[in-house]
Amino acid sequence: MPTTPLRVMLSSLFGILLVAASGPEFFKAEGDKLLAAGQPAKAFDAYTQAIDLGMKHSQVYLARGNALTAMREWERAVADYDESIKLRLDNPVAYRNRGYAKAELGRFQDAIDDYTAALQIKPDFWDAWLKRGQVNGNAGLWDKAIADLNVFLRNEPNHAYGLGLRGAAYARIGEPDRALVDLNAALELEPNLVKALLARAAIYAGRGRHDQALADRERAVAAEPENVEALVARGGSYHQLGRHDNGLADRTRAIELDPGNPLPYAARGNAYFLLKRMPEAVADLRAARDRKSLDPTLPDLLARAEAQLREVQVGDAQVSQAQVAEAQVREASGTKPIEAASATPPPPVTVAAAPVRSSAERDVPSLSGLSPNRPPAPAPVAETKPKPIPAERPATPAANVEASHQQARKLLADRKFADAIPLLDQVLAANPNHVLALNARGYARMMQRDLTNAIADFEAALKLKPDYANAQHNLATARRLAKVQ
């Protein structure tokens, strides 16, 4: 039968009458079904229709708040939970759920207050004990977190997540052995529990067991490939094992997944800082600061990175000016310039010819003959008499020294540490008080795990310039590595 305007009108009228007959209870029930089916947006619409049709009691606002929570609409969820609590002050579930939404907003103390209110109404509300323990941990109140989790675990001793939370809290108060008992128990119950894997990995890393830490963090990423915290942590393990490309890739992926999160920016910025890539370090650390990072060490690290970046920029400018001056002298005297990009390093600026070092010797610098306060002098060639220096020619042009220094810095930036060391030896033979070269050679040696010589270089740099922050940091790192090694 063809559709007529009358049929359309009657169908619409029937629909309106059906809705009116159904009443708000119909839409509340529909919302409950949709929410249970994992369709929170449609459930929200159904609950809204129930409210618009006059349903103004606590349960419908609680249910709509739950739909908003499932949609991660935290502020709007809090508003609906507020309405639910106004209409019924003694509903512990509404307080518990509002506490959860506030915790997601970072309002930890407000969340703790809501969980406390829920427990005052219902002291055996075990999930509120669990969640208050978790938020106490988020707020750094570790002793209170452990106390809450003890109550919860007395009632549910085999709860994997609760064990993982308490294990993480024990680790944070400096009780790693007790932490491992809880974390191992949690992982026996739930082998891919990400929080427990990450907490256990942190303990392993703190004990220098970086292979085991990486194994746990790889399991965490496999379980939740888009977990930003897990990616950042695995990146840390890669860096500890010298796999810097993998570490940077993990932290870059974390930034792509959550560009508003300061954590991966701070982590990648720290990695760039340790790799001496100061422009990238400063950019990332500033990004973490702008995203309101709560890391208390960030301001100091950013200040140090900015200072070192300025130092590099000033040094580059000084070298550029020296090169211009040298070019002017050469032009006036008619001498040929030294090729800056020559594959052969500039000759050592010494009275006698310096010995040629094999590639093996460059890769593994000698540990002997070091004074703790000054770097080793280049070894003389046997029975080589010094040649007289022509009076009209300067023995150590400053620009040549700085050219060698800058060539060495470029090699360091390319991670060619063994090739940089001979150039820095030449610079220091000409100027033993060249603080930047001492620090640079120490860094090259540290990256080759020649820690004894590295420490000597950093100490020599600091003897000349005690407030040199870069050398202070490198010395601390080298000493820490020496203890592990």
Give just the sign of the alpha carbon dihedral 178, 184, 186, 189.
Answer: negative
Least confident of 80-84, 208-212, 240-244, 441-445: 441-445
pLDDT of residue 331: 55
DSSP one-letter string for 355-377: PPPPHHHHHS---SS-BTTBPPP
254: burial class by Cβ within 10 Å (0-12, 13-18, 19+)? buried
Q: Where do the structural domains in the chain lie, given as residue ranges?
A: 398-485
pLDDT of residue 6: 57
- Look at the chain and count its residues: 485
Report how far residue 109's alpha carbon sits from residue 329's, in angstroms, rounded to the nearest whole number. Answer: 70
User: What pLDDT band is residue 332 in, cutting at 50, 70 and 90?
Assistant: low
Q: Which residues on neighbouring strands pair with residue 371, listed in sequence order?
A: 374
pLDDT of residue 201: 96
User: For the chain, what is the mean pLDDT?
Assistant: 81
Give tens-digit pLDDT for 68-103.
999 999 999 999 999 999 999 999 999 999 999 999
For range 220-245, the mean pLDDT? 96
Higher local confidence (pLDDT), 247 or 368:
247
Are residues 482 and 458 in contact, defined by beta-carbon separation less than 8 angstroms? no
Report how far residue 281's alpha carbon sits from residue 304's, in angstroms, rounded to the nearest whole number. Answer: 10
328 HSE (CA, 13 A, CB side)? 6
Least confident of 210-224, 229-243, 373-387: 373-387
Report whether pLDDT(361) > 50: no
User: What pLDDT band is residue 477 in, cutting at 50, 70 and 90?
Assistant: confident
In CATH terms, is domain 398-485 a member of 1.25.40.10? yes
Least confident of 368-372, 394-398, 452-456: 368-372
pLDDT of residue 478: 77
Are residues 455 and 485 in contact, defined by beta-carbon separation less than 8 angstroms? no
pLDDT of residue 278: 92
What ranges in 207-274 are assigned the alpha helix state H?
210-223, 228-240, 244-257, 262-274
